[in-house]
Structure 1
Amino acid sequence: MDEIILILLILAGIWYWWGTQRCNEVALAVCRQKCNKANLQLLDATVIRQRTWLRRDIGGTVQICRLYSFEYTAGVGLVVSEESYFGAREQGYIVLIGKQVVETHLSHSDG
């Protein structure tokens, strides 16, 4: 019986890790699209998961909700050092329920 519980816990961990990786990919793709559309440069080509919690979706199903942050700049050009950005680093965030994007925000503009 203990082995079955252990196997189920391992499988649940793998399932969570796999879902998190997929959500990271979705969040990064949406951030790239938003930045490109607003003529902004996504910095570090990454999103950072800030928070994870449970939340109901529109259909009432409990889903994993994830908040990601990212940085971008209005500057375009060759970046040689931290001080050489043409624009200041700005923060944005994106919220996913499951793999569905429900909110994005760019402090530069309402993206």
Structure 2
Amino acid sequence: MSHLLTVCLLLLLGWFWLDSLRAREIAIGICQAACRQRELQFLDQAVALRRLGLSWRSEGVRLRRVYRFDFSEEGMGRRQGYIVMRGLHLEDLSFGLPEQVSDA
């Protein structure tokens, strides 16, 4: 019985590790695309995990990860933004900048 429990725990740990890598890859891709769209520089080409928790919604329980990333507006200075992933889906993305208003 203890061997079965050990195997289950190892499988759970492996799933968590692979799921975390996939969520991080998706978060990096979203940040890169959002920076390109806003004409910002995505610095370090990386995101850093700041918080990990569980999120309960009508769709069920999912892992909720909050990542921090650095960007630059004009190549001078460094600003921080964050991205929130619920499972493998984007929940929120913030640059902490005022919204761009287009003249139409």
TM-score w.r.t. the length of structure 2 is 0.90
User: What is the identity percentage for the equivalent residue pairs of Structure 1 and Structure 2?
Assistant: 28
Structure 2: tracts of 5 or more residues without a match: none
Write the distance in 2 (CA, Å) between the matches of 1:87 and 1:33: 20
Amino acid at match of 1:23: A
Q: What secondary structure is seen at the aligned counterpart in 2 of 1:39?
A: coil
Query: Which residue of structure 2 lines up, in the alignment, with residue 82 of structure 1?
Result: none
- 2:64 aligned with 1:65, yes or no? yes
For these two proteins, the number of residue pairs brought into alignment is 100
Point out 4+ residue stretches in structure 1 off by more than 2 angstroms.
108-111
Write the distance in 2 (CA, Å) between the matches of 1:110 and 1:28: 21
TM-score w.r.t. the length of structure 1 is 0.85
CA spacing shift, 1:95–1:62, aligned 2, 3 Å: same
Task: Select which of 85, 88, 101 maps to 2:77.
Answer: 88
Structure 1: tracts of 5 or more residues without a match: 76-85
1:74 Cα deviation after fit = 1.1
1:110 Cα deviation after fit = 4.3
Write the distance in 2 (CA, Å) between the matches of 1:25 and 1:55: 20
| Map 1:88-107 → 2, pairs under 5 A | 88-107=77-96
Q: Write out per-residue CA displacement over residues 14-34 of structure 1, whole angstroms, 9 at most, x where no aligned residue.
A: 000000000000100000011
Amino acid at match of 1:66: R
Query: Which residue of structure 2 lines up, in the alignment, with residue 35 of structure 1?
Result: 35
Write the distance in 1 (CA, Å) between the matches of 2:49 and 2:98: 22
Q: Write out per-residue CA displacement over residues 64-109 of structure 1, whole angstroms, 9 at most, x where no aligned residue.
A: 000000000012xxxxxxxxxx421000000011001010000234
What's the Cα RMSD here? 1.4
